[in-house]
């Protein structure tokens, strides 16, 4: 129900956003109240409308592995990657088969070149990734390999 969504399901997300969480990983589950046709990973209504516009989340949205069985029922991996990018994901996880990575890359590149996906969508994802890198990969003091080997007794 809408009441259950507002009182039980959304508060943890609101709290995480208020605590400045840096990323959410999508679920391949269906949430019929929010989108009766698409799993969350490929749902623009969930990723863009709910997370970005309604809850004002500006961090990364990362898919779970697009090669998982739950996504197989909704098409091939490349189509899933394209749909996830369109829906609002910034990082598309394809964890096993390099051919799926290349097929996804080719399909997304083709759709961008045809202007079926606005270039701005890719720029937004790149900016979010860069912001996360800046936040978490700040320059650190270099550690000598000799110290690492000594620590691990190698």
Domain made up of 2-151: CATH architecture: Alpha-Beta Barrel (3.20)
pLDDT given at position 4: 87
Q: Give the DSSP H/E element, type plus range, for residue 122.
A: helix 119-136
Q: Is the pLDDT of residue 151 over 80?
A: no
The reported pTM is: 0.85
- Burial pattern 26-47, b for ≥16 Cβ within 10 A else e, equals bebebbeeebeebbbbbbebbb
CA angle 111, 73, 101 (to 5 degrees): 45
pLDDT in tens, 74-90: 789 999 999 999 999 99
Q: Is the pLDDT of residue 139 over 70?
A: no
pLDDT in tens, 4-18: 888 898 999 999 999
């Amino acid at each position: 129900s809408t009441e259950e969504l507002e009182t039980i399901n959304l508060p943890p997300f609101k709290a995480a956003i208020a605590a400045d969480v840096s990323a959410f990983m999508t679920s391949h589950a269906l949430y019929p109240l929010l989108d009766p046709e698409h799993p969350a990973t490929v749902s623009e209504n969930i990723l863009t409308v709910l997370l970005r516009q309604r809850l004002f989340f500006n961090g990364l949205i990362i898919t779970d592995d697009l090669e998982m069985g739950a996504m197989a029922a909704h098409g091939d991996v490349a189509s899933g990657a394209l749909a996830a990018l369109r829906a609002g994901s910034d990082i598309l996880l394809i964890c096993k088969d390099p051919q799926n990575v290349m097929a996804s890359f080719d399909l997304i590149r083709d759709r961008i070149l045809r202007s079926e996906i606005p270039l701005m969508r890719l720029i937004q994802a790149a900016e979010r990734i860069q912001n996360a890198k800046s936040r978490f990969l700040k320059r650190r003091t270099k550690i000598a390999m000799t110290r690492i080997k000594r620590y691990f007794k190698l």
